[in-house]
Amino acid sequence: MEVCVQQYMQYKLLMSKSNQDHIVAGLFKLAWSFPFIFAGPALFIGKGTSGAWYWTALSILLMLSGAILVVLGLRQILRGFFGD
């Protein structure tokens, strides 16, 4: 019985800790993604629909990089809360 209680206490202690470094790093990635998320569609509407092809390519690249940064940031935040 005592072994079960000790294992439960160790499990509870491990599950209650969060890695603040991972959480902060994920929040920084999310913060860096916002300029890309807003600049990509603005550039696409402003220049991409009527300008040269490279404006369209640049705006799509900005939107994709913003989405990738969001996914990486959320993954890192969840890793900070729940571990690997």
For the chain, 84 residues long, give each residue's pLDDT as a single digit of tens: 666 667 766 666 555 578 899 999 999 999 999 999 999 999 999 887 887 889 999 999 999 999 999 999 999 999 999 887
pLDDT for the residue 37? 94
pLDDT for the residue 74? 97
pLDDT for the residue 24? 94
Residue 23 lies in a domain: yes
Residue 3 lies in a domain: no
Residue 9 lies in a domain: no
Domain count, the chain: 1
The residue segments making up the domain with residue 57 are 19-82
**pTM recorded for the entire structure:** 0.75
Residue 47 lies in a domain: yes
Residue 2 lies in a domain: no
pLDDT for the residue 50? 82
Residue 4 lies in a domain: no
Residue 5 lies in a domain: no
For the stretch 21-27, contacts whose Cβ atoms lie closer than 8 Å and that sit 24 or more positions apart, written own/partner, are 21/80, 22/76, 22/77, 22/79, 22/80, 23/76, 23/77, 23/80, 23/81, 24/80, 25/76, 25/80, 26/72, 26/73, 26/74, 26/75, 26/76, 26/77, 26/78, 26/79, 26/80, 27/73, 27/77
